[in-house]
Amino acid sequence: MSCSREAGKGERIGIADAVRDHHRHRGEEATKSTSLSISYRAIAYKSSFYIHLTIVWYLSQSELVYGSLWRIHYRSVAAMNCESFSVQNDY
């Protein structure tokens, strides 16, 4: 039984070389998957940041314009009531 096998290009590769190449290849795959998970994590953090930034901007705008989030509904209802009263007063 031989300790080496024929390589594809006519060269002989020993078992130690094959094991080393196998581990090197596995290391490259691990590095790829780690870098992919880091990039996916970075995308998730970035999108989460922009979602939170948008929510904070929306809440600050409604707070500045209407005074509070709960008054948005009341002001729109009051505006509808005033319109209905003005229509009723015109008749």
**Alpha carbon distance 70, 61 (integer Å):** 13
**Average pLDDT in the 59-88 region?**
56
**Average pLDDT in the 25-31 region?**
57
Give the pLDDT confidence score for residue 26 in this predicted structure: 60
Mark out the alpha helices in the chain (DSSP H runs).
15-66, 69-90
Question: Could you give the angle at the alpha carbon of 37 between the alpha carbons of 36 and 42, nearest 5°?
Answer: 95
Give the pLDDT confidence score for residue 82 in this predicted structure: 57
**Alpha carbon distance 10, 19 (integer Å):** 19
Each residue of 46-69: pLDDT tens digit?
888 999 988 888 877 765 655 555
Give the pLDDT confidence score for residue 87 in this predicted structure: 44
| pTM, full prediction | 0.31
Q: How buried is residue 17: exposed, middle or buried, by Cβ count under 10 Å (0-12/13-18/19+)?
A: middle
